[in-house]
Amino acid sequence: MRAETLARLQAERAAKRPVALLTRLADGAQHLFPGEGVPAALAEAAVAALDADAARSLTLEGETWFIHPYTPPLRLLVIGAAHITQALAPMAPALGFAVTVIDPRRAFATEERLPGVTLIDAWPDDAMAELAPDTRTAVVTLTHDPKLDDPALDIALRSGAFYIGALGSRRTHAKRIARLAELGHGPEAIARIHAPVGLDIRAVTASEIALSIMAEIVAARRGAVLGEVRPGAMAAKVPA
């Protein structure tokens, strides 16, 4: 690997930006994507590798390329050590997410209630500024307390977080929208918030709500069009 390629790769990883290393196997020539001009088919394959977090090969004009994605870790930042958080925290790691729970209320954010989870007892605005949500980060607010949720949402909306969810009824969210508008967020930005948080699966228990949240996060990450009937789905239901 050329020194300049290695230096840029290290810089991109330090900045937590996803990048793919493209290697032509015939002669070892290498490019980093994005940032260097490559054929459209190779760029599409690099995007697919980054989306899937998996290496792949592509034969283009008789030459084989190996595509190695380097992606920042998936993170789930949860505001509030609530009952739902206790159910959510064990689910997320199985789906590849490192969980951090932010709650200044030390009686709630304890190792006993959330074993094995990274706990931060700072105020959400300070913690979120330090954690710097990126395009591999999902943010969920669960406290029902505007003093804790709103500052976190403010920072999340100014970040590249791929998912932002907030617990609360539609009435609660309407009031939240007004407060966020006062902080300078327009309708397009506020529309990024999934509220009420989670897919509508008629969830009642904390575990069911946690399941609905993780399902919505996965759908957002994978770019799923919710409610869309996939090809062959109806045919599979027809008896032979």
What CATH number has the domain spanning 74-222?
3.40.50.720
All residues at 6 or more sequence positions from 21 whose CB lies less than 8 Å from its CB, including other chains: 5, 9, 30, 31, 32, 67, 68, 70
11 token code pair: 């810089």
Burial of 180 (0-12, 13-18, 19+ CB in 10 A): buried
Domain boundaries for CATH 3.40.50.720 within the chain: 74-222
User: Per-residue confidence of the chain (240 residues) as pLDDT tens digits?
Assistant: 788 888 888 888 887 788 999 999 989 989 898 877 788 999 999 988 888 888 999 998 899 999 999 888 899 999 999 999 999 999 999 999 999 999 999 889 999 999 999 999 999 999 999 999 988 999 999 998 999 999 999 999 999 999 999 999 889 999 999 999 999 999 999 999 999 999 999 999 999 999 999 999 999 998 888 766 555 544 445 444
Confirm whether pTM is higher than 0.85. no
CA angle 62–63–64, rounded 5-degree value? 125
H-assigned helices in the chain:
3-14, 40-52, 83-94, 124-131, 146-157, 170-182, 187-190, 206-222, 233-237
